[in-house]
Amino acid sequence: MKENEGVYAIIITCLILIAFVVPYTLLPNVEKWYGSFLFWTVLTVIVIGVNYLLIRDWGKKQ
């Protein structure tokens, strides 16, 4: 377990909030593949990466 779990929780919460806000505010007129489609996909990859950093040490020395 990480000691700074709370920091990770805040980061992930912010990323999820961005996922709601950006496509409806900055991208509604970008009717291209690099608009909301790319944005949500990349953001998900980032969230998975943050999860990896958070849990990568689980069960390493048992």
Partner 1 sequence: MNTSYVWWAVAIYIIISLFIAFLSRSGKQNDMVSYFLGDRKLGGIVSALSYSATTYSAFMLVGLAGLTYSGGVGALGFELIYLMGVSLIAFFGPRFWVVGKKYGYVTPSEMLGDRYQDKRVAVIVALTSCLFLIPYSAVQLTGVGYLLSGLTNNEITFSTGVLIATIMAILFSYIAGIRSVAWTDSLQAIFMIITSTVVVLVLINGLGGFSSFFQTLETEHPASLAVPGNGFFNIFTFIGMTLPWMFFSLSNPQVSQRLFMPSSLKNLKIMILGFMIFGLIYTLVAIFWGFSATIMFPNLDNVDMATPLILSSDLVPPILGVIVMVGIMAAAISTIDSILLTLASVFAKDVYGNLRKRPTDRMQLQIGKFVIPVIAIIAYLFAEMELSIIVLLSVASSAGLIIAVPAIFGTFFWKRGTAAGVLASVGVTGVIVIFLEAFQWKPLGLASGVWGIILSTIIFIGVSFVTKAPEEKAEEFLTTVKVALQKERKNN
DSSP state of 61: -
Q: Which two tokens stand for residue 40?
A: 């949500």
Residue of 22, 28, 13, 25 whose CA lies nearest to 42: 22
Binding mask 1-40 for partner 1 (x = CB under 8 A): xxx-x--xx--x--xx--xx--xx--xxxxxxx-xxx--x
CB of 9 to partner 1, least distance (A): 7
Helix ranges (DSSP H) in the chain: 5-25, 36-55
Tell me which residues touch partner 1 (CB under 8 A).
1-3, 5, 8-9, 12, 15-16, 19-20, 23-24, 27-33, 35-37, 40-41, 43-45, 47-48, 50-52, 54-62
